[in-house]
């Protein structure tokens, strides 16, 4: 690496330096980097330090590094990501389209040609698509490398700065004034005031640097560290151990395995409760609002649940050995928690059939007098039922979720949502049977000359609760990232890095000042400093750029 | 002269350090990205995949003389493990193929095991009768095995070799030819 020796103070600066690290003198050949050539004022960005990205370009490692170090690349990546994210919201994502429909058809049917393009380009699964993830990852890399490349030179430049600055550096600061005659008393008075308003003052041969709030310069980098930790937390969500997100349906009275717990935990649904407003007397006060609303308004979704622990999880299959672990009720936003898992009330289905009872009567009996009855437990229907009068009823076919598929009866699922049966009825002491088809709202006699008929007498229903199963160890990491992010924001927003230079010139004194924000604040500080002295107030050279000529200034 | 030499050494050392530092940082960052991408791609894949040991289980057997069957007792044989349900149409379509090839492969030490995910035993019994299934049909009543094998759509079939290692995993229905090919793969030597 070539060094640039400052021709004023002799300090060796790294290649690419714009302003000498020690005295601040502009390095002639590098002024183009920050666009200082044709400007009266110096660009104080990164203290004019050498951002490495702007200099070497050698090995492939350096080239990659410099690519990511560029702020321009970073802004491009962020812009592309923002546009892609926005496009992802035009049509619903795949997880929100109805289940049991093919995504390829759904988007075409619902949204036409645009929908099809959307689907084919993979926007229907945008946020977990590989290219979206790569975009986010590239932003992460860009933030990391760009931060390293800027924070190190900035730190060095701020650490090496000397109170004695080059005159061309001072003159080209935004706030500047020169006074021809200033007594030593006035200068000391100014220094005392600076100290009293909590500036850190360093002196070198009568040259003074007063500095305040330097730590606010680190705000953006702290902020970036928070962001990187946040992204890391999101990355950890892909580790199955760190993040579990499952779903389980439990019928009332049923005990099922909780997915994601590796066979360790089971849940029993004791009762699912759906309360609506208007059920209890104290809801009388809502009467008007409810009438306006029309229909029912849910007040509470609740599952009374028991969590069991499997004491022998290695044995897979057959009946697990369960031990009661916890009993509690799950309500919306009040999950049941056990062993870092949380079960959230997420959905429900009401009135799934639990049992059905039938009675047998003669087909030609207008009174439908019962010859005997039986009840079918839908969770475990039996092969045959013997009635009181000796009639044998055999279940020949059972369709829990009946539908007709090209004229053939089938079941859509294993859940008893629309149960239907083919019964074989054997009258007492006979080997011949009659076939009868019975279901909800249907009772078919295929031959038309059955002597007996099975009629639905009664049925019981039960509710099904839908619970989300979560275990999230990434949340503390993500929160920590968020917290550090906020600290960085506050640090950079509510404090400013203010510097005031006092530069003795012959019998007079120059003042130059710089702050990274809130110029009004630093001007007020300077007003306090020069109060009661004959030091001149600084001019704002940016505001007065047109009519300001420091050399020709007169008292 | 000596000072210039020293400065040169110092410079090249610094350069080397920078290269090492940059390489390490880039390596870590790219490793993290690759990790995220690979995990994301594997997210939907089964916990049990090709090359994995098939977890043992014991389930109630719905046909034949035995009350229950464990996977471990089939060690030494090739096992076709088929997850299905009576209400699943493609499952129903491939059943006759399995039944047709079963006698031939049973003699070659390949066992076909079908695990039903139905809710009730009645429907399974009727199904076995309808297709006169002779290979063991098991009932995963609580969905434990389904969960452990992380089964998505039905049917899903695992072809397991004599050492209990998954050789092939097939989602969706099989044709007679393809089934024959897979069964050949798990035939013990």
In a domain, A446, yes or no: yes
pLDDT band for A86, please (50, 70, 90 cuts). Answer: very high
Residues of chain A with C-beta less than 8 angstroms from the C-beta of B57: 316-317
Average pLDDT over residues A50-71: 78
Q: Does A336 map to a domain?
A: no
What CATH number does the domain containing A193 carry?
A: 3.30.310.180
Mean pLDDT, all residues of chain A: 86
| Mean pLDDT, rounded, for A526-531 | 93
Q: Comparing A485 with A35, which gets the higher pLDDT? A: A485
Res A100: pLDDT: 60
How far apart CA B147 and CA A263 sit, in angstroms, is: 8
| A324: CB partners within 8 A, 6+ apart | A306, A307, A308
3-state helix, strand, coil in chain A (%, to 5): 35, 30, 35
- Per the CB < 8 Å rule, is A137 touching B144? no
Query: A398 and B123 in contact by Cβ < 8 A?
Result: yes
**Are residues B155 and B72 part of one domain?**
yes
For residue B5, tell me if it sits in a domain.
yes
How far apart are the C-alpha atoms of A360 and A390, rounded to whole Å?
A: 11
Asked whether residue B62 falls in the same domain as residue B24, the answer is: no
B156 and B81, same structural domain? Answer: yes
Query: What residues of chain B lie within 8 A of the CB of A318, using their CB?
Result: 58-60, 68
pLDDT, one tens digit per residue, over A115-173 is: 899 888 888 888 878 888 888 889 999 999 999 988 998 998 899 899 999 998 999 99
Residues A452-461: tens digit of each pLDDT: 888 888 888 8
> Which of A95 and A152 is assigned the larger pLDDT?
A152
Would the CB atoms of B57 and A317 count as touching at under 8 Å?
yes
Q: Please name the residues in contact with B2: beta carbons below 8 A apart, sequence gap of 6 or more.
A: none
CA–CA distance, A193 with A197 (Å, rounded to integer): 6
Strand order in the sheet with B78-84: B68-70, B58-61, B137-139, B110-116, B78-84, B156-160, B166-171
Q: Which of residues 80-99 of B touch A (CB under 8 A)?
A: 85-87, 89
Better pLDDT: A351 or A294: A351
Confidence check: pLDDT of A76 > 70: yes
Per residue in A5-15, pLDDT (tens digit) is 888 888 888 88
Do B40 and B69 have their domain in common? Answer: no
pLDDT of res. A481: 96
Residues A395, A378, single domain; the answer is: yes
Please state, in angstroms and rounded to a whole number, the distance separating the CA atoms of residues A490 and B18.
32
Closest residue in B to A250 (Cα) is B142
**Looking at the structure, do residues B101 and B23 belong to the same domain, yes or no?**
no
Does the beta-carbon distance from A316 to B144 stay under 8 Å? Answer: yes
Domain count of the fold of chain A: 4
- d(C-alpha A382, C-alpha A385), whole Å: 7
A316 closest CB neighbour out of B25, B40, B56: B56
pLDDT in the model for residue A545: 55
On whether both A59 and A110 belong to a single domain, the answer is yes
Report, as an integer, the average pLDDT of A184-193.
93
A337: left (phi over 0), alpha (psi -120 to 50) or beta: beta
Note down the domain range covering A503.
163-213+496-552
Query: Is A115 found in the same domain as A68?
Result: yes
Residue of B nearest to A377 (CA): B120
Q: Quick one: pLDDT band at residue A548, thresholds 50, 70, 90?
A: very low
Backbone phi, psi, residue A49, to 5°: -80, 165
Looking at the complex, report in whole angstroms how far the Cα of residue B4 sits from the nearest Cα belonging to chain A: 13
> Touching check for A103 and chain B: CB below 8 Å?
no
Q: Provide the CA B93 distance to its chain's centre, in angstroms.
A: 22
More reliable by pLDDT, B48 or A374: A374
Question: Omega before B155 cis (within 30°)?
Answer: yes
Query: Are residues B120 and B171 both part of a single domain?
Result: yes
- Are residues B159 and B95 part of one domain? yes
Q: Are residues B77 and B22 in the same domain?
A: no
Residue among A259, A396, A411 whose CB faces B147 most closely: A259
Is B51 among the domain residues? no
Same structural domain, A57 and A153: yes
Confidence of residue A56 (pLDDT cuts 50, 70, 90): low
- The pLDDT, as a whole number, for residue A219 is 94
Does B87 fall in a domain?
yes
Cβ atoms within 10 Å of A452's Cβ, excluding its own: 19
CATH number at residue B130: 3.40.30.10
* Residues in a beta bridge with A271: A304
Instruction: State residue A554's pLDDT score.
Output: 39
Split at pLDDT 50, 70, 90, the class of A77 is very high
Q: Which residues 101-120 on chain B approach chain A with CB closer than 8 angstroms?
A: 117-120
Same domain, A425 and A385: yes
Element containing residue A207 per DSSP (H, E): strand A207-212
pLDDT tens-digit map of A400-446: 888 888 888 888 888 888 888 888 888 887 888 888 888 887 787 77
pLDDT digits (tens, 9 = 90+) for A290-335: 778 777 788 889 999 999 998 887 777 767 788 899 999 999 999 9
**Rounded Cα distance, A169 and A249, in Å:** 72
If asked whether residues B35 and B84 sit together in one domain, one would say no
pLDDT in tens, chain B (189 residues): 677 788 778 777 877 888 888 899 999 988 888 887 887 776 655 467 788 888 888 888 888 888 888 888 888 888 999 999 988 888 888 899 989 888 888 888 888 999 998 888 889 988 998 888 889 999 988 778 888 888 878 888 999 988 888 888 888 888 888 888 888 888 887
Is residue B117 within 8 Å of residue A256, measured between CB atoms?
no
A498 pLDDT more than 90: yes
Within a domain: B109: yes
Confidence grade of residue A229 (pLDDT, cut at 50, 70, 90): very high
β-pair type (A539-540, B58-61): unpaired
Q: Are residues A93 and A171 in the same domain?
A: no
Whether A94 shows a pLDDT value over 90: the answer reads: no
Q: For residue A513, what pLDDT is reported?
A: 95
> If you ran DSSP here, which 8-state letter would residue B123 be given?
H
Look at residue A1 and tell me whether its pLDDT is greater than 60: no
Residues B1 and B86 in one domain: no
Q: Which residues of B touch A126 (CB under 8 A)?
A: none
pTM, entire model: 0.73
pLDDT score recorded for residue A47: 85
Provide mean pLDDT across the span A54-62: 71
Residue of A64, A259, A395 lying closest to B122 (CB–CB):
A395
Structural domain for B7, as ranges: 1-44
Give the phi and the psi of residue B22 in degrees, each rounded to 5: -65, -40
Structurally, chain B folds into a number of domains equal to: 2
- Residue A246 in domain: no
């Amino acid at each position: 690496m070539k060094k640039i020796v400052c021709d004023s103070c002799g300090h060796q600066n790294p290649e690419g330096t714009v302003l000498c690290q020690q005295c601040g003198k502009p390095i002639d050949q590098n002024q183009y980097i920050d666009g200082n050539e044709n400007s009266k004022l110096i660009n104080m960005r990164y203290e004019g330090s050498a951002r490495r990205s702007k200099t070497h370009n050698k090995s492939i490692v350096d080239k990659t590094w410099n690519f990511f170090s560029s702020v321009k690349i970073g802004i491009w990546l962020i812009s592309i990501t923002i546009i892609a994210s926005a496009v992802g919201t035009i049509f619903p994502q795949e997880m929100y389209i109805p289940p049991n429909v093919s995504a390829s058809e759904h988007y075409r049917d619902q949204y036409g040609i645009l929908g099809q393009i959307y689907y084919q380009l993979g926007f229907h699964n945008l946020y977990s698509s590989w290219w979206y993830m790569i975009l986010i990852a590239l932003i992460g890399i860009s933030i990391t490398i760009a931060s390293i490349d800027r924070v190190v030179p900035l730190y060095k430049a701020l650490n090496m700065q000397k109170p004695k600055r080059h005159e061309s550096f001072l003159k080209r600061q935004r706030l500047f004034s020169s006074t021809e005659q200033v007594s030593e008393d006035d200068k000391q008075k100014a220094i005392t005031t600076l100290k009293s308003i909590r500036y850190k003052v360093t002196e070198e041969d009568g040259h003074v640097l007063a500095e305040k709030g330097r730590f606010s310069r680190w705000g953006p980098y702290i902020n970036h560290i928070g962001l990187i930790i946040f992204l890391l937390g999101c990355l950890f969500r892909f580790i199955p151990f760190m993040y579990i997100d499952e779903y389980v349906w439990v019928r009332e009275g049923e005990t099922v395995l909780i997915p994601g717990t590796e066979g360790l935990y089971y849940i029993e649904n004791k009762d699912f409760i759906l309360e609506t407003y208007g059920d209890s007397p104290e809801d009388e006060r809502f009467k008007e609002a409810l009438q306006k609303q029309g229909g029912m308004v849910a007040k509470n979704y609740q599952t009374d649940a028991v969590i069991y622990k499997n004491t022998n999880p290695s044995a897979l299959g057959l009946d697990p050995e369960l031990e009661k672990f916890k009993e509690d009720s799950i309500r919306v936003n009040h999950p049941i928690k056990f062993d870092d898992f949380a079960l959230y009330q997420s959905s429900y289905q009401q009135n799934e059939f639990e049992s059905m009872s039938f009675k047998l009567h003669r087909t030609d009996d207008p009174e439908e007098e019962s010859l005997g009855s039986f009840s079918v437990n839908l969770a475990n229907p039996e092969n045959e039922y013997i009635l009181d009068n000796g009639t044998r009823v055999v279940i020949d076919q059972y369709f829990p979720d009946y539908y007709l598929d090209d004229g053939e009866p089938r079941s859509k699922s294993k859940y008893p949502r629309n149960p239907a049966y083919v019964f074989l009825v054997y009258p007492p002491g006979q080997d011949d049977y009659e076939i009868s088809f019975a279901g909800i709202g249907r009772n078919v006699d295929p031959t038309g000359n059955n002597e007996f008929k099975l009629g639905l007498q009664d049925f019981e229903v039960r509710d099904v609760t839908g619970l989300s199963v979560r275990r999230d160890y990434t949340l503390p990491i993500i929160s920590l990232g968020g917290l550090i992010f906020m600290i960085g924001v506050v640090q950079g927003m509510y404090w400013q890095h203010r510097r005031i230079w006092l530069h003795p010139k012959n019998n007079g004194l120059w003042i130059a000042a710089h702050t990274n924000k809130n110029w009004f604040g630093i001007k007020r500080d300077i007003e306090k400093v020069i109060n009661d002295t004959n030091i001149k107030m600084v001019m704002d050279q940016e505001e007065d750029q047109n009519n300001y000529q420091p050399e020709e200034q007169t008292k | 002269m000596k000072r210039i030499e020293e400065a040169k050494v110092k410079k090249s050392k610094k350069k080397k350090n920078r290269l090492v530092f940059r390489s390490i940082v880039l390596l870590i960052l790219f490793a993290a990205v690759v990790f995220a991408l690979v995990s994301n791609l594997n997210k939907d894949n089964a916990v049990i995949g090709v090359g994995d040991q098939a977890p043992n289980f014991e389930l109630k057997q719905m046909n034949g003389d035995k009350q229950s069957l464990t996977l471990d007792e089939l060690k030494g044989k090739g096992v076709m493990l088929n997850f299905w349900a009576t209400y699943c149409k493609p499952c129903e379509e491939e059943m006759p193929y399995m039944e047709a090839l079963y006698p031939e492969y049973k003699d070659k030490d390949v066992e076909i095991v079908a695990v039903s995910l139905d809710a009730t035993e009645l429907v399974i019994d009727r199904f076995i009768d309808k297709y006169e299934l002779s290979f063991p049909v098991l009932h995963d009543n609580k969905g434990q095995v389904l969960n452990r094998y992380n089964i998505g759509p039905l049917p899903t079939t695992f072809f397991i070799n004599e050492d209990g290692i998954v050789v092939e995993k097939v989602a969706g229905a099989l044709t007679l030819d393809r089934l024959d090919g897979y069964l050949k793969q798990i035939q013990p030597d």
